[in-house]
A and B are shown apart, each in its own frame.
Chain A
Amino acid sequence: MIGSIAALGAGLAVIGAGIGIGQIGGKAVEGIARQPEAASKIQGAMIIAAALVEGAALFGVVVSFLGLR
């Protein structure tokens, strides 16, 4: 039972990160399409932002992982 709830928690954390990283990736591609010469700068900023969002999601995953034990 606790295992299933933990799995649900991990799933919820991933939904949030999915939306967040999707937004970041989408906007970055838009930005690059508008200004291809700024591609490398946009990529750098995109990776940093994606890592921060992913960090938040991984907190959720780790907490649900702890709940599994």
Chain B
Amino acid sequence: MYNSPIFKIKIFSILRVFAVFLALSAFSAPAFSQHDAPGHGQEAHETGAGEEKKFEPSEVILEHIADSHSWHLWGHTHIPLPVILYTDKGIETFSSSHLDHGHYAGKYYTYALEHNKIKVVNAEGQIDEAATKNVWDFSITRNVASMWLSIILLMVIFISVSSAYKKREGKAPKGLQSFLEPVILFVRDDIAKPNIGHKYARFMPLLLTMFFFIWINNLIGLVPFFPGGANLTGNIAVTLVMAAITLIVVNVNGNKYYWKHILLPDVPKWIYPIMWPVEIVGIFSKPFALMIRLFANITAGHIIVLSLISLIFVFKSFAIAPVSVAFVVFMDVLELLVAVLQAFIFTLLTALFIGNAIEEHHH
């Protein structure tokens, strides 16, 4: 696949398009961060006019990589997202725009935002941690909205491509088809077949879904303005669910050799009490490593890009901007590689674990 000239040209032109996008985004990024400065500045304005609060890079960065109840567009414009709370008294829904200006009195409790988390406020205006424990937050946050967007995108792309395959059966692929075909064949021939063996076809839907879901969400996460801007694959809950799917698929499909290897390995009987805990930890540690790897890679990428942009504000000088922007463009292009590499690694290791679990042994 690496030697296919079509693939090379496609990847190269896509890289160029993205490079242009990212160059533009890097310039808009200072404006992006600047919005935060007034955010913290508001308090400063209240206490003493003109006196800016000190810029705290780690605060800004952690806020940007975390989930949020609104989707930032530009300047002070946000898209408010719905808040859905399951409280001990009933379900409560309202728009997050009510929380922009302090407290909001809902049907059952009064709420406020603290570090982008919804907290219950008691009558004195203090945050009530005990009551907050009774409230479960099922809101459509930025990450959820971004995930739905990526799902719609994937559905549109793949339904159109699969219908094109039905329509043009036996003919050469065309358009979007010819871009996706080498990638799908790559997942089949370089990930599924060598690692799973001849039973690979059953697991292709799972592997393809994982590959494209991670890839497209990594790419959307790299776009700093509206349709992007969420850090979905850098959210540990998302990677946890994907790793849990891997755990379930591997263990449900595990054959008797797999279980024999775990429960009755070919070692003297008296070592069994040592072997069982080790093997059982091994079952869970593999998906756990998958979870941490994807989460930490994507989060680290976002932190590096945001720290480079923060340099401009730390030094408070435009002179540093060209250096910072150049590094950001370099890192973003590197992140394009990491985006596809992490999708590849996750899918590959899933295929490897499945392959180990369904392998037939001949003793």
Residue pair A51, B349 in contact (C-beta under 8 Å): yes
- B residues 188-221 touching A (CB-CB < 8 Å): 190
Residue pair A62, B348 in contact (C-beta under 8 Å): no
Residue pair A62, B349 in contact (C-beta under 8 Å): no
Main secondary structure of the interface of A (DSSP, over half): helix
Could you tell me the distance between the alpha carbons of A41 and B6 in the complex, rounded to whole angstroms?
22
Residue pair A44, B296 in contact (C-beta under 8 Å): no
Q: Identify the closest chain B residue to A51 (Cβ).
A: B345
Could you tell me the distance between the alpha carbons of A40 and B194 in the complex, rounded to whole angstroms?
13
Q: Identify the closest chain A residue to B3 (Cβ).
A: A40
Residue pair A47, B300 in contact (C-beta under 8 Å): no
Could you tell me the distance between the alpha carbons of A56 and B255 in the complex, rounded to whole angstroms?
29
Q: Which of B2, B292, B352 has the most C-beta atoms of chain A within 10 angstroms of its own C-beta? A: B292
The distance from the CB of A39 to the nearest CB of chain B, in whole angstroms, is 10
Interface size of A by CB at 8 A reads 13
Q: Which residues of A contact B296 (CB under 8 A)?
A: 58-59, 61-62
The distance from the CB of B35 to the nearest CB of chain A, in whole angstroms, is 24
Residue A55, interface by CB 8 Å: yes
Q: Which residues of B contact A51 (CB under 8 A)?
A: 293, 345, 349
Residue pair B292, A40 in contact (C-beta under 8 Å): no
Query: When each residue 258-294 of chain B gets 1 if its CB lies under 8 Å from chain A and 0 otherwise, what string results?
Result: 0000000000000000000000000000000100110
Residue B159, interface by CB 8 Å: no
Contact residues on B (Cβ < 8 Å of other chain), bracket: 10 to 19
The distance from the CB of A7 to the nearest CB of chain B, in whole angstroms, is 11
Residue B297, interface by CB 8 Å: yes
Could you tell me the distance between the alpha carbons of A27 and B53 in the complex, rounded to whole angstroms?
51
Could you tell me the distance between the alpha carbons of A18 and B190 in the complex, rounded to whole angstroms?
27
Residue pair A59, B292 in contact (C-beta under 8 Å): yes
**Count, A-B residue pairs, CB within 8 A:** 33
Q: Which residues of A contact B289 (CB under 8 A)?
A: 52, 55, 59
Residue A2, interface by CB 8 Å: no
Q: Which residues of B contact A48 (CB under 8 A)?
A: 345, 348-349, 352
Q: Which of B2, B58, B292, B341 contacts A47 (CB 8 A)?
A: B341
Query: When each residue 155-179 of chain B gets 1 if its CB lies under 8 Å from chain A and 0 otherwise, what string results?
Result: 0000000000000000000000000
Q: A40-B2, A44-B190 are in contact. Are A61 and B300 (CB under 8 A)?
A: yes
Q: Identify the closest chain B residue to A10 (Cβ).
A: B300
Query: When each residue 7-44 of chain A gets 1 if its CB lies under 8 Å from chain B and 0 otherwise, what string results?
Result: 00000000000000000000000000000000010001
Could you tell me the distance between the alpha carbons of A65 and B91 in the complex, rounded to whole angstroms?
35
Could you tell me the distance between the alpha carbons of A62 and B291 in the complex, rounded to whole angstroms?
12
Could you tell me the distance between the alpha carbons of A47 and B334 in the complex, rounded to whole angstroms?
16
Q: A40-B2, A61-B300 are in contact. Are A47 and B293 (CB under 8 A)?
A: no
- B residues 1-25 touching A (CB-CB < 8 Å): 2
- B residues 283-328 touching A (CB-CB < 8 Å): 289, 292-293, 295-297, 300
A-B contacts, 9 of them at CB < 8 A, read: A40-B2, A48-B349, A48-B352, A51-B349, A58-B297, A59-B289, A62-B295, A62-B296, A68-B58
Q: Which 4 A-B pairs have the closest CB atoms?
A: A58-B296, A51-B345, A55-B293, A55-B289
